[in-house]
Structures are given as C-alpha cells and as structure tokens.
Amino acid sequence: MTTVGVVTDSTADLQPALQERLGLGVVPLIINWDGKTFRDKLDLSAGEFYRRLRTSKTLPRTGAPSLAAFESAFREQLKQHEAVVSVNLAAKLSGTYEVARKAAESVDPRRIAVVDSGSVSVCLGWLAEMATTLARQGMGLHELVERLEEARGRLRILALLETLEFLKRGGRIGRAAALAGTLLSVKPILSVREGEVAPVERVRTMNGALRRLVELVVAQGPVERLGVIDSDAAANAAEVEKQLRVRYPDLSVERGELGPVVGTHGGPGLVGVGIL
C-alpha cells in the first residue's frame, strides 16, 4: 500500500488518462453561468465553454469546491492510503486552498497535509504528478510536503493574453492592472509566480508577442520541464511549441489546454508556458 495518497483540484488541467494512471483524487471547482451551476470539466468541456464564452454577453463566475467535495475526496484516499497530501490552486488566486485546509481539519488533520502550489494549470499538475511519484517511492508525508514546497519556488508561468478584459472583469487582475487601458491591439504578457499575477511587458502584434514569449522563457535560465497551454488558441500555441523545440532540442515540450475555470479569467486566445 502506498503510504500517501494525492488529491488536487480541476485547475491542474490534467488529462483524464494521466489522472487515472496516477490514481489522483481531483476535486472540481464550480462555474456559475446564467443561473446554472457546472462542475469544472465534468459538466462543461473546454470546447463547449470557449465557444460560448466568445459570444456570450454575460461572464461566468467561478467558485471554490464545497467543503463536502474535499471531505469526500480525502476519505476516499484514506481508504487506500495511510495519509493524504492535497496540492491546490494558489491561495492568492482562489479560496480553494482554504476550503481544502478546512476539510483536512474536519476529516483528520494528523493524516492530511494541504499544500498551496502558488500556481495553476500545468504547474499545479506537475506538483500533483511529483507528489504521486514520490509517494510511490515510499516517501512519508512530511518529507513529501517539504519537497513540494521546495519545487513550488521554481515554478512560473508566462502567459500571453489576447485581452486583459476577462482578467479585469473576473477581479483577478492584480498588479497586471498596470497594463490595462492601453491600445486594444497591444498584447499583454503576464507572469504567475508564488500566486502573484504580475505584468511583464506589452507587445504590439500577436506574431511579435509569440516570439517575445519564447525569448522571455529562454531568459529564465536552465529549465527542467516546459509545457505550452492555451485557451482556444491552438494555432498560436503550436507556433510557440515549435519555437521552443528549436531552442530546447533535448527537452520534451508538453501540451495542455486551460479548463473553463482558469479560462474564465484568462479569456479565450491565451497562450502560456509553464516552466520548472
């Protein structure tokens, strides 16, 4: 029996096949839209979501999972494991971490640890994957948490947005507000690190911005993993992936799609690069 089971949330954007292979518990965040409630990725696929978002006059609202949803996921893992680590969306971006922490207190605080990933999407997914790998190697709960917290400091995301409008409307703009109010044609590049969304720079054209995004990744120095993510921007993501493969011929560049919850705030047309 593996000593530690792993739980994460739907903003890790894990592929269902990988999720199953890792044996993770995944708790979905909630989307409220025009009076209806959807569970992220379960009741609303990314494809459906972006088609609707591009034409909708209303913006969906996102919410953390319920306390009961985390409690259920923790109890399920404790049936098979001696302890559980929950790796979640950055606490500065969502109440999800806090709900998971309260659920851990309620179920069994001695056997459940909750880790703030400080990130989202592909980077959160990497931490969840790392937790599973280390647990299968027999690492105990406290050491595992230490390793995840060490790796967290090396995670960052650089993201090119089609527009800042969705980030602004969703209330997650943070320091990136410095880039707002500029010419509509200007493409903003932001960073996400330790839970902070921060402005990086503005580029006038999309092609120029895609090239600049790659240059900014290279400027980060040595990397262990790279992942390209997008929200209904497959062609631009493919271009970034192609340029990164030229720069990093010995590295496998992973690909992923931003789910509905993160897409609500980033908007359609986003291309991001996760870096470890």
DSSP string, 221-253: ---S-EEEEESS-HHHHHHHHHHHHHH-TTS-E
**pLDDT the model gives residue 245:** 97
pLDDT for 1-44, tens place per residue?
Answer: 569 999 999 999 999 999 999 999 999 999 999 999 999 999 99
How confident is the model over 108-129, as pLDDT tens digits? 999 999 999 999 999 999 999 9
Residue-range domains of the chain with CATH:
4-29+64-152 (3.40.50.10170), 156-275 (3.30.1180.10)
- Give the DSSP letter of residue 38: E
Over residues 34-75, the pLDDT tens digits come to 999 999 999 999 999 999 998 999 999 999 999 999 999 999
- So what's the pLDDT on residue 186? 82
195 three-class SS: coil
Dig out the tokens for 271 from the structure: 């291309």
**Dist. CA 45–CA 260, nearest whole Å:** 7
3-state secondary structure of 203: strand
d(C-alpha 110, C-alpha 7), whole Å: 16
Over residues 92-109, the pLDDT tens digits come to 999 999 999 999 999 999
Would you give the DSSP letter of residue 81? -
What are the tokens at 160?
A: 């090119």
Distance separating alpha carbons of residues 163 and 160, to the nearest angstrom: 9
Tens-place pLDDT, residues 164-182: 878 777 555 554 454 554 5
Mean pLDDT of 146-150: 97
pLDDT number for residue 178? 47
Q: How far, in Å, are 168, 184, 262 from residue 97 at the CA level?
A: 22, 35, 15
Q: What percent of the chain has pLDDT over 70?
A: 93
**Burial of 39: CB neighbours in 10 Å, binned 0-12, 13-18, 19+:** middle
Q: Is 62:90 a contact under the CB 8 Å cutoff?
A: no
Mean pLDDT score across all residues of the chain: 92
pTM (whole model) above 0.75: yes
